[in-house]
Amino acid sequence: MSDEAAPPRPRARIVLADNMDLLPGLPAGGFSLIYIDPPFNTGQTQRRAQLRTVRDAEGDRTGFKGQRYRTIKLGERHYADVFDDYLEFLWPRLEQAHRLLAADGSFFLHLDYREVHYAKIACDQIFGRECFMNEIVWSYDYGGRSKSRWSAKHDNILWYARDPARYTFQYEAIDRIPYMAPGLVGPEKAARGKTPTDVWWQTIVSPQGREKTGYPTQKPLKILERIVVVHSRPGDLLLDFFAGSGSFGEAALRHGRDVVLVDQNPEAVEVMRRRLGFAAPTIEALGSLTLLPSETVTAPPGEAPAAEPLAAESAATLEPTRQDEAPAESTVEDRPAAASPEPARQDDAPEESLADEAEVTLAAETSETPVIVGESPAAAEEAG
Is residue 110 classed as helix, strand or coil in its secondary structure?
A: strand
| Residue 56 banded pLDDT, cuts 50, 70, 90 | confident
| Residue 338 banded pLDDT, cuts 50, 70, 90 | very low
| Residue 52 banded pLDDT, cuts 50, 70, 90 | low
- Asked whether the beta carbons of 320 and 167 are under 8 A apart, the reply is yes
Look up the pTM and report it: 0.69
pLDDT in tens, 273-324: 999 999 999 999 998 777 877 654 444 444 444 444 454 333 333 333 343 4
Largest CA distance in the chain: 67
pLDDT in tens, 171-222: 999 999 999 999 999 999 999 999 999 999 998 888 778 888 878 778 999 9
Tell whether the model's pLDDT for residue 63 goes beyond 70: no
Averaged confidence pLDDT in the chain: 76
pLDDT greater at residue 322 or residue 8: 8
Tell whether the model's pLDDT for residue 51 goes beyond 70: no
- Return the axis-axis angle of helices 247-254 and 221-231, rounded to nearest 10°: 50
Residue 146, number of CB atoms within 10 A of its CB? 15
- Asked whether the beta carbons of 74 and 51 are under 8 A apart, the reply is yes
| Residue 71 banded pLDDT, cuts 50, 70, 90 | low
The mean-pLDDT minimum among 30-39, 150-159, 366-375 falls in: 366-375
What local confidence, expressed as pLDDT, does residue 7 receive?
78
Q: What is the mean pLDDT of residues 331-336?
A: 35
What local confidence, expressed as pLDDT, does residue 217 receive?
78
What local confidence, expressed as pLDDT, does residue 82 receive?
44
| Residue 223 banded pLDDT, cuts 50, 70, 90 | very high
Tell whether the model's pLDDT for residue 34 goes beyond 70: yes
What local confidence, expressed as pLDDT, does residue 8 receive?
86
What local confidence, expressed as pLDDT, does residue 221 receive?
96
Which domains are seen in the chain, by residue range? 12-40+85-347 (3.40.50.150)
Distance of CA 118 to CAs 111, 112, 113, Å? 11, 11, 10
What local confidence, expressed as pLDDT, does residue 14 receive?
98
Q: What would the DSSP string read from start to end of 65-107?
A: GG-EEEEEEEEEEEEEE--SSHHHHHHHHHHHHHHHEEEEEEE
What local confidence, expressed as pLDDT, does residue 213 receive?
84
Q: Ranked by mean pLDDT, which of 49-58, 60-69, 224-233 comes out on top?
A: 224-233
What local confidence, expressed as pLDDT, does residue 39 receive?
86
Q: Is 211 left (phi over 0), alpha (psi -120 to 50) or beta?
A: alpha
What local confidence, expressed as pLDDT, does residue 352 receive?
36
What local confidence, expressed as pLDDT, does residue 310 receive?
59
| Residue 53 banded pLDDT, cuts 50, 70, 90 | low
- Asked whether the beta carbons of 198 and 135 are under 8 A apart, the reply is yes
pLDDT greater at residue 249 or residue 328: 249
Q: What is the mean pLDDT of residues 325-351?
A: 38
What local confidence, expressed as pLDDT, does residue 49 receive?
46
The mean-pLDDT minimum among 203-207, 211-215, 223-227, 344-348 falls in: 344-348
Query: For residue 277, which amino acid is it?
Result: G
Distance separating alpha carbons of residues 113 and 375, to the nearest angstrom? 22
What local confidence, expressed as pLDDT, does residue 210 receive?
87
pLDDT in tens, 125-179: 999 999 999 999 999 987 678 999 999 999 999 999 999 999 999 999 999 999 9
